[in-house]
Chains A and B, each alone.
Chain A
Amino acid sequence: EDKVVQSPLSLVVHEGDTVTLNCSYEVTNFRSLLWYKQEKKAPTFLFMLTSSGIEKKSGRLSSILDKKELFSILNITATQTGDSAVYLCALGGSNYKLTFGKGTLLTVNP
């Protein structure tokens, strides 16, 4: 059974700090690993990773995958209060099925 473990479960930082969110996984047949940001409603897509060592970057957010060690990290630099959210890591399965981790609740204080 596919498994996704995220850490930490919650994190409180000050604006301007840099944070690293962790995601480790176990999977029988790896297809992809995805990161989502969830505020109040539906998750917002951030990244999909399929290859090791290739950093995906979008503004202050970046992510990388290590398929040998079975983990991924999501980095957020110069955090802002608007980054406060739950960040979800998920394994992508066939037919767009997702297996989510429990998420990391990030709180950015002014």
Chain B
Amino acid sequence: GAVVSQHPSWVICKSGTSVKIECRSLDFQATTMFWYRQFPKQSLMLMATSNEGSKATYEQGVEKDKFLINHASLTLSTLTVTSAHPEDSSFYICSAGGSSATGELFFGEGSRLTVL
């Protein structure tokens, strides 16, 4: 079964509104979670590293004031897209933890955001 849960799986919003996406680790604690963004026909690009109890670390070119990340507990990180615009429409996916035996990382199911 899933070990990382992401919600919502899809969301449509109006331009200028804010959208919150949740990423939860199930049955394990994750001090670090990662947020990726994927545009159509492109690869996953790391946006930021979410650190429990401290500020997120953003990749170059990612606006931290636009993509607010909160990792207030060891099982939950949230990504809030503030004042969303159509160009923010994308597939957002989180990852948390992995298997030290196989190397598999645990991804959430992803959230498809469409901004009208």
Say whether A42 contacts B34, CB under 8 Å: no
Interface string of A23-55 (1 = CB under 8 A from B): 000000000101000000111010110100000
Is the Cβ of B46 less than 8 Å from the Cβ of A97?
yes
Main SS class of interface, A: strand
Q: Of the candidates B44, B49, B97, which one forms a contact with A100 in the assembled complex, judged by CB atoms under 8 Å apart?
A: B44
Residues of B near A50 (CB, < 8 A) are 103
* Residues on A with beta carbons closer than 8 Å to the beta carbon of B93: 42
Known contacts A41-B110, A42-B109; is-contact A99 B46 (Cβ 8 Å): yes
Are the C-beta atoms of B95 and A32 separated by less than 8 Å? Answer: no
Cα A97 to Cα B96 in complex, Å, equals: 9
- Which residues of A sit under 8 angstroms from B103, Cβ to Cβ? 32, 34, 45, 47-48, 50, 92
Contact: B95 with A96, CB < 8 Å?
yes
B105–A98 contact, CB under 8 A? yes
Query: What number of A-B contacts does a CB cutoff of 8 Å give?
Result: 56
A103 touches B104 (CB 8 A): no
The answer, yes or no, to whether B32 is at the interface (CB within 8 Å) is: yes
Interface size on A, residues (CB 8 A): 22
A103: B residues at CB distance < 8 A: 42-43
Q: How far is the CA of A41 from the CA of B98 in the complex (A)?
A: 18
Interface residues of B in 64-116 (CB under 8 A from A): 93, 95-98, 102-105, 107-110
Please tell me if the beta carbons of A96 and B97 are within 8 angstroms of each other in the complex. Answer: yes
**Are A42 and B46 interface neighbours, CB within 8 A?**
no
Write out, one digit per residue, whether chain A residues 52-88 have a CB within 8 A of any chain B CB (1) or not (0).
Answer: 0000000000000000000000000000000000101
Q: Are B44 and A96 in contact (CB under 8 A)?
A: no
Residues of B within 8 A of A (CB): 32, 34, 36, 41-46, 49, 93, 95-98, 102-105, 107-110
A sample of 19 cross-chain residue pairs with beta-carbon separation below 8 angstroms, ordered by A number, consists of A34-B103, A42-B109, A42-B110, A43-B107, A45-B103, A45-B105, A86-B43, A88-B43, A95-B32, A96-B97, A96-B105, A97-B46, A98-B95, A98-B105, A99-B46, A100-B43, A100-B44, A100-B45, A100-B46
